[in-house]
Amino acid sequence: MNLRPEEISSVIKEQIKQYAGQMEVSDVGTVIQVADGIARVHGLEKAMQGELLEFPGDVFGMVLNLEEDNVGAVLLGDHKNINEGDTVKTTGRVVEVPVGDCMLGRVVNALGQPIDGKGPIHSDKFRPIERVAPGVITRKSVDTPLQTGIKAIDSMVPIGRGQRELIIGDRQTGKTAIAIDTIINQKGKGVKCIYVAIGQKASTVASIVNAVAYGLYTVVVVYTVCDLPLWLKVVVVGVANLIGVYVVKLIEEKSRKDKLWKIECTVPNDQRMYLCYDLKEKVPFNCYEVFESDYTVFNIYCKTQLQSAYVKECLAQRNAKYFVSETKNL
């Protein structure tokens, strides 16, 4: 085969034109110590608290301890292949997990990665693991009962949605069975359930998954004994709580769109005009006068709890009696 110099030079020029150099800049450090799922890395002066680090073998870590000459990171994976002298790179982003409706019906590990064989989780929403919890004042109060489906519990122990409830008992007394039965009983009731399996045997986790993970209202976060270091149970609980907080927020937003707070009240006739002035252009209402009486009945509709609080304050100033109920938003 004879090649002419002109052909060779033309091919080289074409390759040069199509060449596009991509530069990846990242801080690089070196592992100086590994033990019990904790790695100390030297050379990452610009690492952030909670930042995700990339170790060899597709193992990631999270920065927890910032010292003067090294960084302490917890390994979010198998640490058996991590050795002293390995290269570690920063990623420039904090540890975060996917959230949203795409998590429902899936089984994930401590990092929010699917382990149920149903393919990847496609989500455009992520939230960091380390974040400030919602304040007590901004949280919705417990006002709706939660039925476990077990008559002995439902009749003697009042449980509300959003309430913390501790199940105490010795081994093999049925604590897990109560939790599983409660999750199964929530099907079709608008309740999103998250089951966190920490330190349980793989066979036990498999039976739990078969019982609850096939509904589109559950998320199972799994951490078995042999997967990750024991300290990672804290991260697992944080991931589950993060998913739960996001789901609860979506439910509350949908509830606000689907419902109105209806306030039915009776106001003295001499206060009627003042109340109408207070509510004008702020809260929708209608009123009708009761004949042969000295009061007027108002029906006031509030879209938010802030509007409801404002209306109650106005009614208290007008010596009105009122009753609050919920109705569908038409």
The third-level CATH classification (topology) of the domain covering 97-256 is Rossmann fold (3.40.50)
Q: Kindly report the pTM of this predicted structure.
A: 0.57
What's the pLDDT score for residue 140?
79
What's the pLDDT score for residue 330?
40
SS (H, E, C) the chain: CCCCHHHHHHHHHHHHHHCCCCCCCCCEEEEEEEECCEEEEECCCCCCCCEEEEECCCEEEEEEEECCCCEEEEECCCCCCCCCCCEEEEEEEECEEECCHHHCCEEECCCCCECCCCCCCCCCCEEECCCCCCCCCCCCCCCCECCCCCHHHHHHCCCECCCCCCCCCCCCCCHHHHHHHHHHHCCCCCCCEEEEEEEECHHHHHHHHHHHCCCCCEEEEEEECCCCCHHHHHHHHHHHHHHHHHHHHHHHHHHHHHEEEEEEEEEEHHHHHHHHHHHCCCCCEEEEECCCCCEEEEEEEECCHHHHHHHHHHHHHCCCEEEEEEEECC
The third-level CATH classification (topology) of the domain covering 257-328 is Alpha-Beta Plaits (3.30.70)
Tens digits of residue pLDDT in 268-309: 777 777 777 777 767 766 555 554 467 777 777 777 777 777
What's the pLDDT score for residue 253?
59
Range with the largest mean pLDDT of 127-131, 188-192, 222-226, 305-309: 188-192
What's the pLDDT score for residue 307?
77
What's the pLDDT score for residue 40?
92
What's the pLDDT score for residue 235?
57
Pick the range with the lowest mean pLDDT from 74-83, 174-183, 301-310: 301-310
What's the pLDDT score for residue 249?
62
Tens digits of residue pLDDT in 17-76: 776 656 566 688 999 999 888 899 998 888 888 888 989 888 888 898 888 889 999 887
Architecture of the structural domain at 1-94: Beta Barrel (2.40)
Residue 129 pLDDT > 50: yes
Pick the range with the lowest mean pLDDT from 121-130, 131-140, 254-263, 310-319: 254-263
Say what percent of the chain tops pLDDT 70. Answer: 76
Domain boundaries, the chain: 1-94, 97-256, 257-328
pLDDT level of residue 239 (50, 70, 90 thresholds): low
What's the pLDDT score for residue 291?
47
Residue 259 pLDDT > 90: no
What's the pLDDT score for residue 16?
75
pLDDT level of residue 316 (50, 70, 90 thresholds): confident
Say what percent of the chain tops pLDDT 90. Answer: 4
What's the pLDDT score for residue 293?
65
Q: What is the mean pLDDT of the chain?
A: 77
What's the pLDDT score for residue 109?
80
What's the pLDDT score for residue 30?
92
Across 91-107, average pLDDT: 84
